[in-house]
A and B are shown apart, each in its own frame.
Chain A
Amino acid sequence: GAVVSQHPSRVICKSGTSVKIECRSLDFQATTMFWYRQFPKQSLMLMATSNEGSKATYEQGVEKDKFLINHASLTLSTLTVTSAHPEDSSFYICSIKQGGNEKLFFGSGTQLSVL
């Protein structure tokens, strides 16, 4: 069964609204989760690393005030796209790494479309 649950799978919103995406670890405690973004026909790009109980680490060029990440528990991390604009339309996916390299799990992704 699924190890990572990501919701919603698809969201359409109006420009200027905020959208929250949840990523849940179902089978184990995840101290670290990763958030990626994939624009059409491009690769997954790491946006930020979400650490339980502390501030997320953002990659260069990613606006931390626009993409709010909260990792309040060992099983849940949320990504909030604030004041979304059409250019934020993308596929967002979370990833959890358990232990070493042997176990890497991805959520099913969230397709965000901003009108």
Chain B
Amino acid sequence: GDSVTQMEGPVTLSEEAFLTINCTYTATGYPSLFWYVQYPGEGLQLLLKATKADDKGSNKGFEATYRKETTSFHLEKGSVQVSDSAVYFCALSRNSGNTPLVFGKGTRLSVIA
């Protein structure tokens, strides 16, 4: 079945450091790929998405590129801030029907000043 694997956390970075959170997926066909963010005490929010190969999703300085050849969707940010501290979830969804999201385990990011 479909699955998402993302790097284990927690990840602790200093402010302005470069961030990469790896995500790979297993799925047949061409799923859509997502990154969701969960700030402390809040629900999930969509951070960015990509719906086809080579698409780049971007938002709030975060980027991720849909790489079908490596089945990856790594999240990057050039300079993290303390306010980026949160749990980040990689997820996929099929393009047809009402299939639900399949999530990775989440990666907790802590950014220290």
Chain B residues lying within 8 Å of A95, measured Cβ to Cβ, are 100-101
Give the contacting residue for A31; candidates B42, B89, B96, B98; CB below 8 A.
Answer: B98
Number of interface residues of B (CB under 8 A): 24
Among B13-21, B43-51, B62-70, B73-81, the stretch in contact with A: B43-51
Whether A12 is near chain B, meaning CB under 8 Å from some CB there, is no
Whether B104 is near chain A, meaning CB under 8 Å from some CB there, is yes
Known contacts A101-B32, A107-B43; is-contact A46 B100 (Cβ 8 Å) = yes
Q: In the bound complex, do residue B93 and residue A108 qualify as a contact, i.e. CB atoms below 8 Å apart? A: no
Q: In the bound complex, do residue A49 and residue B100 qualify as a contact, i.e. CB atoms below 8 Å apart? A: yes
Total cross-chain contacts (CB, 8 A) = 55
Whether A42 is near chain B, meaning CB under 8 Å from some CB there, is yes
Whether A104 is near chain B, meaning CB under 8 Å from some CB there, is yes
Whether B35 is near chain A, meaning CB under 8 Å from some CB there, is no
Q: In the bound complex, do residue A106 and residue B105 qualify as a contact, i.e. CB atoms below 8 Å apart? A: no
For window 21-55 of A, CB contacts with B under 8 Å fall at 31-32, 34, 36, 41-46, 49
Number of interface residues of A (CB under 8 A): 23
CA–CA, A45 to B101, complex, Å?
9
Q: In the bound complex, do residue A97 and residue B103 qualify as a contact, i.e. CB atoms below 8 Å apart? A: no
B45: nearest residue on chain A (CB-CB)?
A106
Q: In the bound complex, do residue B44 and residue A43 qualify as a contact, i.e. CB atoms below 8 Å apart? A: no
Whether A93 is near chain B, meaning CB under 8 Å from some CB there, is yes
User: Can you name 8 A-B pairs with beta carbons within 8 Å?
Assistant: A31-B98, A46-B101, A97-B98, A101-B95, A102-B51, A106-B36, A106-B43, A109-B43
Residues of A within 8 A of B (CB): 6, 31-32, 34, 36, 41-46, 49, 93, 95, 97, 100-102, 104, 106-109
